[in-house]
Amino acid sequence: MPTQASPPVKVWCDGCYDLMHFGHANSLRQAKLLGDLLVVGVHSDEEIARHKGPPVFTFDERCKLISAIRWVDQVVECSPYVTSLKTLDEYECDFCCHGDDITLTADGNDTYKEIKAEGRYREVQRTPGISTTGLVGRILGNRTTARSPWTGASFHLSTRKIVEFSGGKARKVGDKVVYVTGGFDLFHVGHVQFLEKAAELGDYVIVGLYSDEVVRGYKGPDYPVMRMHERLLGVLACKYVSEVVIDAPFHVTEDLINNFKIDLVVSGRVPFGDGGDDPFNYPKQLGIFVQVNSESDVTTETIIERIRRNKFLYNERNERKEQREIDLINEMEKHS
């Protein structure tokens, strides 16, 4: 008699996922390794504002970004800020997973206290050197060292981390290869919708990622906000991306097209170059260039403007969050 197959292990993760970055993606990647299916709950704007302060990305933007992460199987909208056994049972999840820092409510309580007490909590390593708090600080020009160890560590990219994030499908003979290029700074919903449109035009999407120097060359000295290795991991985490060319040339050249056997070059609506300096001139001559509309008005610049427009609120939010973390660490040390 054949043995009955065991039901899949379902892992629950939840969070704000604001200013979505590779640290969020790495946490979800590690969580997926603990089970078969990954269910991700996204908190509402109102819940985030109540417990942390105003989010930068809207609720719809955050849900779209999470749904594009290659390790996510299901997105649950408006999940409670405090995770309960009722929520885990409702979505038939075996346990909840979170990073090895602590998420606190507005009154300083651990949001995972109940499920920890019931033994249905798992922990993964928090990615050092990246946080929403830190990114907001960069944009606002706050260069002081973070006081909390959860936001003040540094991150160094290794080949192992690149391999861990490179989960795209293998290229097959006969695949139609689509090439897109850009800086992909502060990876946002406009990027996701552009990559989704590009993926609809072929079978295998290669992203040419510009170096920090190239980005500064066409956007100015204040860019990019995120360094190339940070942008690289953010792009690799997107399920529409098959491969990334690191330090891609600004101009799409004959060598590039021949070496990667590119069938189609795709660009968004954002203009590049000045006058005759068109980076897509060669693929246009070949007749393999297409421009698509991401149907999003969100850009890196509009994200920065949101933060600068509400500078006081975000500074206050960062300081309040960091102080709660420091208070908790001090309390933990008293009882250790």
Q: What is the pLDDT of residue 46?
A: 96
Q: How far apart are CA 44 and CA 198, in angstroms?
A: 29
User: CB of 130 within 8 A of CB of 23?
Assistant: yes
Q: pLDDT below 70 — which residues of the chain?
A: 1-3, 142-154, 270-276, 312-336
Q: How far apart are CA 113 and CA 104, in angstroms?
A: 10
Strand partners, 264: 178
The answer for 304, left when phi > 0, alpha when psi is -120 to 50, beta otherwise, is alpha
Q: What is the model's pTM?
A: 0.88
Interstrand relation of 74-77 and 204-209 (parallel, antiparallel or unpaired): unpaired
If you compute the radius of gyration of the chain from its CA atoms, what whole number of angstroms results? 21
Strand partners, 177: 204
Question: What letter would DSSP give residue 121?
Answer: E
User: CB of 231 within 8 A of CB of 209?
Assistant: yes
Q: How far apart are CA 32 and CA 11, in angstroms?
A: 7
Q: How far apart are CA 107 and CA 202, in angstroms?
A: 50
- Domains detected in the chain: 10-157 (3.40.50.620), 160-291 (3.40.50.620)
Interior/surface letters 26-40, b for 16+ CB within 10 angstroms, e for the rest: bbbbbbbeebebbbb
CB atoms within 10 A of CB 43: 25
Q: How far apart are CA 147 and CA 128, in angstroms?
A: 14
* Spatial CA neighbour of 135 closest among 218, 49, 20, 214: 20
Q: What is the pLDDT of residue 150?
A: 45
User: CB of 30 within 8 A of CB of 62?
Assistant: no
Which token pair is 78?
Answer: 């408006």
CB atoms within 10 A of CB 236: 24
> Rounded to the nearest 5 degrees, what angle is found at the Cα of 235, between the Cα atoms of 76 and 274?
125
User: CB of 321 within 8 A of CB of 53?
Assistant: yes
Query: pLDDT tens digits, residue range 163-179?
Result: 999 877 789 999 999 99
Look at the alpha carbons of 143, 145, 150, 153 in this order and tell me if their dihedral is positive or negative: positive
Q: How far apart are CA 251 and CA 197, in angstroms?
A: 22
Which token pair is 168?
Answer: 């795209």
Q: What is the pLDDT of residue 105?
A: 82
